[in-house]
């Protein structure tokens, strides 16, 4: 039985641990701060695809990851008995002008090919979704590939599944040798940058909020660069800011106030919704903006899985498969744009 020690109890570390546990490895997850203590403990949980045009290998991998999500999260929920709040509810976006209408029609055609006929990118009238989102043209883009989950519940569900299958989650590593995977987010990027003597990534601050509004069966909304994500528990998450420069990593401020005001303006159903929570934290962004996966560049025999900036939960099922294939079975199918070398 392979002995695997994963540092970091965010979504990458936990997802790799779950996949490795399913394949029979003896797994220990180590995080002194607890489950989902970093950016994985946020609020938003938007699993949204790239637009279906100008297709790249990165877009294909993301599409494959989103396709895997149904089975991945269902297996997690079944194993541990905790609901991650996952559902493929789709997404609405307003169409601003005639140019946008033409582009939406074009993307609808390319989506049929690139999304292999399994998901739609189509125009629908705003009257099909009353009270959710306005549009200057009266039309919305509706895609059926987008999904959602509740980040904190998803991390709790992964932890429950891991422990139910015999895995261990601890604040400190136990004695004994084990193959290491470092999935330590912003701290890990900072450590790599220090050890290599050059920047390989950085933390980008995000602020988000949670409102009380029961829209659980409604699609997500995306407008004015803002995600509005209805969750299964009768809450709605909005976010997030993207701040390269900031005074404090974990405090909210007027920038979040502005997001909340924008969300209430865009979505009539949120105008009187009670504010439940405000969140701020750092998300790990690599130089390539893609996940960094593979052999650890400064720890011989170890591996790294980092850089889930904005797409961590959406990419998690694929990251888990790629890393477990590599670490447990020696099969390296990591795309070139996701390799450690792409950020060095």
Task: Please state the domain extents for the chain.
Answer: 3-90+145-343
- Residue partners of 132: CB distance under 8 A and separation at least 6: 92, 215, 218, 219, 221, 267, 268, 269
The pLDDT of residue 116: 92
To the nearest 10°, the Cα dihedral for 221, 263, 210, 139?
-10
pLDDT in tens, 181-199: 999 999 999 999 999 999 9
13-34 confidence digits (pLDDT tens): 999 999 999 999 999 999 999 9
pLDDT band at 323 (very low <50, low <70, confident <90, very high): very high
Query: Confidence band (pLDDT; 50, 70, 90) for 344?
Result: confident
Within the chain, how many helices (H) and strands (E) appear? 7, 16
What CATH architecture does domain 3-90+145-343 belong to?
Answer: 3-Layer(bba) Sandwich (3.50)
CA distance 329 to 336: 19
CA distance 126 to 136: 10
Q: 292 falls in which pLDDT band (50, 70, 90)?
A: very high
Q: What is the pLDDT of residues 94-118, one digit of tens each?
A: 999 999 999 999 999 999 999 999 9
Q: Which residues contact 143 (CB under 8 A, 6 or more apart)?
A: 49, 90, 91, 111, 119, 120, 121, 122
CB neighbours of residue 254 within 10 Å: 8
For residue 57, pLDDT over 90 is answered with no
Distance from first CA to last CA of the chain, Å, rounded?
33
Contact 228, 267 (CB under 8 A): yes
What are the beta bridge partners of residue 170? 30
How far is the C-alpha of 236 from the C-alpha of 229, rounded, in Å? Answer: 5
**Residue 205 phi, psi dihedral angles, 5° rounding:** -75, 140
Q: What is the mean pLDDT of residues 285-305?
A: 96
Whether residue 73 is predicted with pLDDT greater than 90 in this model: the reply is: yes
* Local confidence band at 58 (pLDDT 50, 70, 90 cut-offs): confident
pLDDT value of position 6: 98
Closest to 41 in 3D by CA, of 281, 229, 316: 281
Q: What's the CA gap between 59 and 311, in Å, rounded?
A: 12
Report whether pLDDT(1) > 80: no
What is the value of pTM for the model shown? Answer: 0.96
**Mean pLDDT (whole number) for 146-154:** 98
């Amino acid at each position: 039985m392979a002995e695997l020690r994963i540092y970091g109890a965010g979504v990458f570390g936990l997802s790799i641990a779950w996949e490795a546990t399913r394949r029979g490895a003896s797994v220990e997850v180590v995080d002194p701060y607890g489950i989902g203590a970093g950016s994985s403990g946020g609020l938003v949980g938007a699993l949204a695809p790239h637009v279906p045009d100008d297709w790249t290998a990165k877009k294909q991998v993301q599409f494959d990851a989103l396709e895997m999500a149904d089975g991945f999260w269902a297996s997690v929920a079944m194993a541990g008995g905790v609901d991650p709040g996952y559902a493929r509810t789709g997404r609405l976006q307003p169409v601003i002008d005639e140019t946008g209408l033409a582009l939406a029609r074009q993307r609808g055609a390319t989506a049929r090919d690139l999304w292999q006929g399994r998901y739609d990118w189509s125009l629908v009238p705003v009257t099909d979704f009353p009270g959710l989102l306005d549009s200057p043209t009266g039309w919305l883009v509706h895609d059926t590939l987008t999904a959602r989950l509740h980040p904190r519940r998803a991390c709790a569900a992964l932890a429950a599944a891991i422990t139910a299958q015999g895995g261990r989650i601890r604040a400190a590593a136990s004695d004994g040798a084990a193959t290491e995977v470092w999935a330590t987010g912003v701290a890990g990027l900072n450590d790599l940058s220090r050890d290599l003597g050059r920047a390989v990534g950085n933390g980008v601050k995000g602020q988000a909020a949670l409102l009380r509004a029961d829209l659980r069966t409604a699609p997500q909304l995306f407008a004015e660069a803002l995600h509005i994500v209805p969750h299964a528990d009768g809450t709605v998450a909005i976010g997030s800011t993207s701040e390269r420069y900031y005074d404090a990593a974990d405090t909210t401020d007027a920038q979040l106030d502005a997001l909340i005001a924008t969300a209430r303006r865009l979505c009539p159903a949120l105008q009187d919704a009670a504010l439940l929570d405000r969140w701020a934290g750092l998300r790990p962004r690599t130089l390539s903006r893609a996940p960094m996966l593979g052999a650890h560049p400064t720890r011989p025999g170890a591996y790294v899985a980092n850089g889930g900036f904005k797409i961590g939960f959406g990419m998690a099922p694929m990251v888990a498969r790629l890393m477990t294939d590599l670490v447990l079975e020696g099969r390296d199918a990591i795309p070139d744009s996701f390799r450690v070398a792409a950020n060095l």
